[in-house]
Amino acid sequence: MADQLLIAGRAFNSRLIVGTGKYRSFEEMRRAHEASGAEMVTVAIRRVNLTDRTKESLLDYIDRKNFFILPNTAGCYSADEAVRTARLGREVGLSEWVKLEVIGDQQTLFPDTEELIRATKTLVAEGFVVLPYTNDDLIVARRLIDAGAAAVMPLGAPIGSGMGIQNVANMQILRERVTEVPLIVDAGVGTASDAAIAMELGADGVLIVHFLAASRGESAQNCQCRNHLPSNHSLVPLLPCRNIVPRF
- The catalytic residues are 99
Q: How far apart are CA 3 and CA 1, in angstroms?
A: 6
Please choose, from the candidates 107, 109, 106, 134, the residue with its C-alpha nearest in 3D space to the C-alpha of residue 120.
134
Name residues whose C-beta falls within 8 Å of residue 142's C-beta, 6 or more positions apart in sequence.
177, 178
Please choose, from the candidates 83, 182, 188, the residue with its C-alpha nearest in 3D space to the C-alpha of residue 135.
188
Please give the DSSP secondary-structure letter assigned to residue 222. Answer: G
CB 235 within 8 A of CB 161: yes
Whole-Å CA distances, 119 to 76, 79, 80, 193: 11, 5, 7, 33
